[in-house]
Amino acid sequence: MTRTDGDAELLAAIAAGDRSAFEAFYRRHAAWLLLRLRYRCADRSLVDDVVQETFLAVWRGKARLRDPSGDVPGWLWRIGSRRLIDSLRRQSAGQRLLGRLARRRHPDAPSAEEQVLLGVEHSDLAGALGRLSPELRAVVQATVLDGLTTAEAAVLLGIPADTVKTRAMRARRQLRQELA
């Protein structure tokens, strides 16, 4: 396998156990996935682990793309973001608190999202965001705080792009009413 092979060819070779195809696929996609996941989580070691788990799932065949000619980056993003969410859920509240305290000692560690959330933690906006339904809050998180496009948020959340738009509109309407 060469670096010029398409993702479909690489995935077929990976399914057949070709290690060089896997290495080419990893080199092609790992860096951007790592960067995107770091926008969602400031814990670098956790993000590194999630990226490794994502590619390990591809190698082991636990993650299969139904249409290899389809959106491979979107597919990897879906796997990686779901694994990140699962990892964050597994962390206990104590671990999260210790992580926050450690990041406060190192001012370069908090992500932009955490800085925004810390700034609004005790304001009316924080309460209004907290009162949104989980579906609306997830859309606000993805599109506003994470800066994803509607299409990217749709892939991340596993819902149609039109649903993302509708939920974003409903969330804005509810936030306007509560903050007026």
Residue 159 belongs to a domain = yes
Residues 63 and 127 in one domain: no
Residues 118 and 64 in one domain: no
Residue 98 belongs to a domain = no
Q: Please indicate whether residue 150 or residue 67 has the higher confidence score (pLDDT).
A: 150
Q: Is 173 exposed, middle or buried (0-12, 13-18, 19+ CB in 10 A)?
A: exposed
Residues 13 and 77 in one domain: yes
Q: Please indicate whether residue 166 or residue 87 has the higher confidence score (pLDDT).
A: 166
pTM of the complete model: 0.51
Residue 1 belongs to a domain = no
Domain-terminating residue out of 58, 90, 122? 90
Q: Which residues contact 136 (CB under 8 A, 6 or more apart)?
A: 167, 170, 171, 174
Residues 57 and 121 in one domain: no
With beta carbons less than 8 A apart as the criterion, state whether 78 and 158 touch: yes
Residues 146-151 have a mean pLDDT of: 80
Residue 103 belongs to a domain = no
Q: Please indicate whether residue 7 or residue 20 has the higher confidence score (pLDDT).
A: 20
Residues 151-170 have a mean pLDDT of: 89
Residue 99 belongs to a domain = no
Digit-coded pLDDT (tens) for 100-148:
555 555 555 555 555 555 555 445 777 788 888 989 988 988 888 777 7
Residue 170 belongs to a domain = yes
Q: What is the CATH number of the domain that holds 35?
A: 1.10.1740.10
pLDDT attached to residue 158? 83
Sequence-separated contacts (24+) of 6-11 with Cβ below 8 Å = 7/68, 7/72, 8/68, 8/69, 11/58, 11/65, 11/68, 11/72
Q: What is the CATH number of the domain that holds 142?
A: 1.10.10.10
Residues 71 and 22 in one domain: yes
Residues 163 and 123 in one domain: yes
Residues 149-162 have a mean pLDDT of: 86
Confidence of residue 14 (pLDDT cuts 50, 70, 90): confident
Residues 61 and 128 in one domain: no
Number of domains forming the structure of the chain: 2
pLDDT attached to residue 95? 61
Residue 59 belongs to a domain = yes
Domain span holding position 41: 7-90
Q: Mean pLDDT score of the chain, rounded to an integer?
A: 78
Confidence of residue 168 (pLDDT cuts 50, 70, 90): very high
